[in-house]
Structure 1
Amino acid sequence: MSRFLSKSLAACVLLAGAQVLAAPPKAYRQEVVVAGSHFQGVHGLVVDGKGHLLASNLLGQTVHSVDLSTGAVSTLVGPPLGGADDVTLGPDGSVYWTGYFTGQLMRRTPDGKTRVIAKELPGLNSLAFRRDGRFYVTQVGRGDALWEVDPNGKKPPRKILSGPGFLNGFEFGPDDRLYGPLLMKGQIVRVDVDTGSIETVADGFGMPTAVNFDARRENLYVVDSVRGELVRVRLPSGAKEVVAKLPTGLDNLAVGPDDQVYVSNMVDNDIRVVNPADGSIRVLVESRLAVPSGLAVAPDDPDEQLYVADVYALRRVGGREGKIQQTTRVLSTRMTFPMNVSLSAKHVVLSSAYLGSLQVLDRASGEVLRTIPNTNGIQGALELADGSLLVAEAATGKLVRVSTAEPAVTTVLAEGLEGPMGLAADTEAQEPGVYVTEVRSGKVTRVRLSDGAKSTVAKGLKAPEGIARHPDGGLIVAEVGRKRLVRIEPATGRLTVLASNLRIGLPESAGLPPGYLPTGIAVGGSGTIYVTSDIESALYRFVPVP
């Protein structure tokens, strides 16, 4: 039995709840809906020459080692230091990785010592050594530059290029030129790092994200994330040939000494191996979810179909049987990295602190109807009856209302909240309002929609994140700081612990808004409580025991 299943088949958790509309259940049975994974969206890869593949795990803040023969995964560097977008090996066997959010370049020496060798470079992404030991990194998204860095961290970084066009996963060729993709231009380029000159090698890609040379250093393999293709580029002609068709969302690759190509997919959270000789594909590391975060269920859905904001995809999961029924993927669609999700009668509302946007989707078709930029660390978002959106800005401490007009108009409903995270509507009340979890203050606050007046429902919590209304009126909250699931009576503030020792709550990291990866909570009409696990990339349910 896997470690995920063994943890999930827990004994019943006793509770003594206060009566609201009806007496709450006295016990819950914890079960697995979707089993977990070691990764939270796998990214950069490098073969270590010792039978292992090193894999970077940005959101999980870890660097892993994968056994190439068995697929067994172990943790090389744990959170919070291991927040790696890409990873490589130095000439002396040191492991180097880039902290995209922290802006730090990290090194772990063969004796196990880890330290920062460069900092204040937000958006650090790709990295590679030249044959002479010189070391280069790029900024992508939160910057756009190519730097030379001292591998020992004794000299300050030196900028080589500004604004190349998001130069991503690259490698040096036998000519000591740097080969890599320009994400937004669909090109593979060759860079002379001594002169800064750039030449196009091949173009016409959807979104190339990384390149690697074959073992003989004659051909260049390219992963195209949007098209889901592994492409071989023949040099010097630049002629292209599709080697294998894969799911969209490809992020990086590494080529072994036997020319087997290892490909990471951040959307499917897996690693596949392609044999370029015949295009055959096998799975080395498999997952079902990537980074399950926000969670929603329609209260009138007897099947309790769950909408999971999986960061790299919006997935629908059967709450009763765990079947993933529908997936909308990032990059190959206009959806942008969902981290929170809520439902209205006709729409799905997504919010993403990752790329700073709100999105409204048609619930029936999945079509993106509106995209509204917001870079204030947005967390929970709800659609109100008039179509306006209510949004928690964790970075500003505000609860704002976004109009239906185009362009959208944002007004402040309430401020002074400390890391507002989860939202639960209370719109049927005589004075309609919304419940808000405050991850910094440890409160659950009710905000009146008519004038923004605030009242404290509960305090003394530690990092409350996800929140949902139970059918009987109680509030179910993920108290992440204490790794537990609690129930709060909104009229009295009385708290009851429903489950403890949950695998939730990755540590916070520099450069991220409060509660960056939310622990999602949803409650079905049956009273079953659903919870996402960021640590295990899993989905659990707590079923009331008669």
Structure 2
Amino acid sequence: MPTNGTDLEAPEPGTGRSRPVRLNEPSGLRGANGIAFGPDGLLYVAQFLTGRISAVDIDSGEVELVVPPDGPLRTPDDIAFGADGTMYIADVAPGRVWQRSPNGEFALVTDAVVVPNGITCLGDRLFVNEMRSGGRLFELFPDGGSPVLLTEGLAYGNAMRFGPDGRLYYPHMMTDEVLRIPPEGGEPELVVRGVPIPVAVRFDRAGELFVLSCDAAGTITHVDPETGGTSSTVTGVPGLDNAAFDAANRMFVSSFVRGSITELGERGRTRTVLPPGLNGPFGVTVDPAGRTYAADHFGLSSVSGSDGIDQVDVVGGTLPGLPRNVVATGDVLQLVDISGGLHAYDPVRGVSRGRAAGLGELAGIAADSSGRVVLAAPERGQVLAVDETDSVTVLAEGLEHPVGVTLDHHGRCYVSDDRLGRVLRLDEEPVVVLDGLGTPQGIAVSGDELFVVEVEHRRLRRFDPATGTSTVAFRELAVETLPGASGTGSNGEPDGSGRPSSFVDLAVAGDGSLLLAANGEGSVQLLKIDAEGTGEW
């Protein structure tokens, strides 16, 4: 008989049992994309993955949450301020552009733009472009009126800015070019080519042109707009996304990979305003040497209690794709990306081998000693297995929404279904072993017991299959559920955002402790479970 998840609870907190141990400090921002200084002198930061906008004091590093994730925004990517202090936001996935008044009221500017990204103002005029192949560049009218097309054929537009000559400068990310166009439209003019993955075009207060690259090295290129001559600086900040200059002409940059804000000074000097953190994390694993890895969508990190975060690799480096989840099999990591691919990835050599593709959206991942990898495919309602020959088989199908998977020492597979609130064991037919749970996601077997994260209740539940006993092991975990992108924009076309659905992963360390992807604060946490059956606090 299945056991109801609320039947039996462990003793209340205050019993002296251990708290979770953070392996890295919580992220100050939970992602950092478009940035712009507001009229109040604070640096406003759009956070694409978590649907937030925050304001940062660039001198103290204090962060204020301005727009929470339960507001009207889903995937804010770039922001700009009008002359009257109105904030304009490009909301990528739903294909909307918003305005937020100085008193915090939101109004929709337009939903007629596909994957809007780069956004900028010229006085009281507003302009936005599309981050897609064949994208368009528009002038928008916040007080009403249809968008006016300035040009089309953009090869993935992004952050743009008006130059001292009154023309609008914008990047073509996929062709490594920067172009410019008059604000009334016309034929675009090439400014420079050969800039690696240009993600943002910015002018400082002296009118100097800088182009940011979203490469692994953090390249910034200084461009002479008249001659096209260039000189480059390597900042060492991977995944640059945007830049802003304050009233003193100090340059600040954001990293979408690391969720950091950095001041770039003269002669290569840097100052950390907000240190690197994790955007999710979305997956966690530990290898036989005890090294813990976190799959963080834009990159792969190693975390430890002593060293904090070490960036192993980033998108634009040698990663085979945007990492969704990861499990260690010896010295190799089995990595799944958001496009439904499985790769065997060597984090030391930075090389990978594709094992399977086209598996759909994936969430949980597990592996056994034979080399078999098991995957949860929630939108397909399937649990898949990839054997040592890379052959894919279906272990179960017709499930509602399987997200977490784990294997016990007998090779039996357990699956969590976060919509039905169940944990199933995959025998010849799926068997319900736990029911009545609150959004169960990450699951793991340690010893002879099964552990599952109930995201809705922010707790870890412990289950003994032999006795059917279920207890609450930890409460008040730093986990949350955030909506993912729907996959389509307001006009029904693919949104191109790549934002993953929320998933809280759980893994087992070498000593039997548990590793939690604490996506509510951007950390990996170590949960030590005592012999009495709980580590609750």
* TM class by smaller structure: 0.7 to 0.9
- Partner SS, residue 43 of structure 1: coil
Paired position in structure 1 for 2:512: 527
CA contact (8 A) 2:324 2:362 kept: no
Shift in CA distance, 48/402, structure 1 to aligned 2, threshold 3 Å? same
Shift in CA distance, 373/145, structure 1 to aligned 2, threshold 3 Å? farther
**Separation in 2, partners of 1:511, 1:282:** 38
Percentage of matched positions with identical amino acids: 27
**Separation in 1, partners of 2:311, 2:44:** 31
C-alpha displacement of 1:119: 2.8
C-alpha displacement of 1:518: 1.7
Q: Does 1:344 find its partner at 2:329?
A: yes
Partner residue of 1:289 out of 278, 295, 309: 278
Paired position in structure 1 for 2:476: 501
CA contact (8 A) 2:134 2:154 kept: no
Partner residue of 2:129 out of 123, 135, 138: 138
CA contact (8 A) 1:29 1:544 kept: no
Paired position in structure 1 for 2:426: 447
Q: Does 1:416 find its partner at 2:395?
A: no
Q: Does 1:376 find its partner at 2:360?
A: yes
Partner residue of 1:103 out of 69, 90, 95: 95
C-alpha displacement of 1:243: 4.5
**Separation in 1, partners of 2:170, 2:91:** 19
C-alpha displacement of 1:156: 4.2
C-alpha displacement of 1:306: 1.3
Shift in CA distance, 99/34, structure 1 to aligned 2, threshold 3 Å? same
CA contact (8 A) 2:455 2:481 kept: no
Paired position in structure 1 for 2:374: 390
Q: Give matches, 1:475-514, under 5 Å.
A: 475-491=450-466, 493-511=468-486
Q: TM-score, normalised by structure 1?
A: 0.84
The one-letter amino acid paired with 2:438 is: K
**Separation in 2, partners of 1:161, 1:396:** 39
Q: Does 1:45 find its partner at 2:40?
A: no
The one-letter amino acid paired with 1:416 is: G
CA contact (8 A) 1:398 1:417 kept: yes
Paired position in structure 2 for 1:89: 81
The one-letter amino acid paired with 2:190 is: T
**Separation in 2, partners of 1:436, 1:515:** 20
Q: Give matches, 1:155-174, under 5 Å.
A: 155-174=145-164
Q: Give deviations 1:19-52, integer Å, cap 9, x for gaps.
A: xxxxxx9944322221102222211011124321
Which stretches in structure 1 are left out of the alignment for 5+ residues?
1-13, 17-24
**Separation in 2, partners of 1:419, 1:479:** 15
Between 102-111 and 502-511, the greater mean CA deviation after superposition: 502-511
The one-letter amino acid paired with 1:543 is: K
**Separation in 1, partners of 2:340, 2:153:** 21
**Separation in 1, partners of 2:434, 2:153:** 49
Q: Give deviations 1:310-361, integer Å, cap 9, x for gaps.
A: 222212223x6454456112212233221211122353122233x5543321
The one-letter amino acid paired with 2:451 is: I
CA contact (8 A) 2:132 2:157 kept: no
Shift in CA distance, 388/527, structure 1 to aligned 2, threshold 3 Å? closer
Paired position in structure 2 for 1:63: 53
C-alpha displacement of 1:414: 2.2
Shift in CA distance, 72/325, structure 1 to aligned 2, threshold 3 Å? closer
Q: TM-score, normalised by structure 2?
A: 0.86
Q: Give matches, 1:258-407, under 5 Å.
A: 258-275=248-265, 277-298=266-287, 301=288, 304-318=290-304, 321=306, 323-324=308-309, 327-353=312-338, 355-362=339-346, 365-370=349-354, 372-374=356-358, 376-383=360-367, 389-402=373-386
Q: Does 1:435 find its partner at 2:422?
A: no
The one-letter amino acid paired with 2:291 is: Q
Paired position in structure 1 for 2:534: none
Larger RCO (CA under 8 A, 6+ residues apart): 2
The one-letter amino acid paired with 1:281 is: T
